[in-house]
Amino acid sequence: MQAQPAAATRTGNRVLILGALSAIAIATARIYAKEGAALMLVARNSARLDALAADLRARGAASAETAAMDLEAEAMNAPAHMADWKRRLGGLDHVHLVYGYLGTQEQATASAAELARITASNYASAVQWCEAAANIFREQKSGSLVAVSSVAGDRGRQSNYAYGAAKGGLALYVQGLAHSLAPIGARAVAVKPGFVDTPMTDGLKKGGPLWASPEQVGRIMRRAADRGGPIQYAPGKWRLIMMIIRSVPSFIFHKTKV
């Protein structure tokens, strides 16, 4: 049942996914599985990770290993964990950081703990993992990091500025990493999805042309590991939409409820 022959382990396709149980992460991982990649999956729930790993092996992954971990809590140990996962994978070519926490602005405004959680999950812990990955890339002079940011990070809005600021900060951090890594040929990309039909957004009214599937975003995540600029919108039309939203003057913007 270890589906594909070992020869399918292509050098250059050893992949670490942080937050592997999110819908976008699963869609991304399935693309890698079809390519015969070796995968290391990290998230909190070990039983769910095991089910996902079996699925990815059946879909062609050369290997799919798991590490059950709270990525927020373990962020200060990122360098050690990253080194361990690189060893278990036999190398490290792509790192996808997909975990995050949406929360609500209402709760963040009312509760310091909620605000701290939103900031820690989406920014403070995330940059530790990004920097740890980048340090490995600097040492090996190769590798790519793809982190999930959000279009919410492009303009502070009353409805979700806590989440937006954290995701926007993450994108800036990754953009800086891309600059830092460019001379050695390593890469860093912040992917900014718009509305995606995932459990994270289950409370919202869905459907219509602005909603994308996790599979669409997964294809962009996979491609971003190989090419494209440091900030990528998913799908690409959000670049234009956000350009317009950013350029609305505040005396108009402040009259809206968005």
Q: Which residues bind another protein (CB under 8 A)?
A: 1, 3, 21, 23, 45, 47-48, 51-52, 54-55, 58-60, 199, 202-203, 207
CB of 26: closest distance to another protein in angstroms? 8
CB of 216: closest distance to another protein in angstroms? 11
- Is the Cβ of residue 205 or residue 255 nearer to another protein in the bound state? 205
CB of 191: closest distance to another protein in angstroms? 21
Coil, strand or helix at 3:
coil
- Is the Cβ of residue 3 or residue 241 nearer to another protein in the bound state? 3
CB of 20: closest distance to another protein in angstroms? 12
- Is the Cβ of residue 60 or residue 235 nearer to another protein in the bound state? 60
- Is the Cβ of residue 93 or residue 114 nearer to another protein in the bound state? 114
- Residue 71 has φ and ψ, to the nearest 5°, of -70, -25
Nearest to 126 by CA among 104, 154, 103, 145: 145
Bridge partners (DSSP) listed for residue 42:
18, 67
- Is the Cβ of residue 57 or residue 86 nearer to another protein in the bound state? 57
Beta-carbon-side half-sphere exposure of residue 59 (alpha carbons within 13 Å): 20
Nearest to 190 by CA among 147, 134, 243: 147
3-class SS shares of the chain: helix, strand, coil, % to 5 = 55, 15, 30
Tell me the C-alpha distance between 111 and 140, whole Å.
43
Quote the strand ranges of 126-240, DSSP E.
144-148, 187-193, 195-196, 211-212, 231-234
CB of 82: closest distance to another protein in angstroms? 27
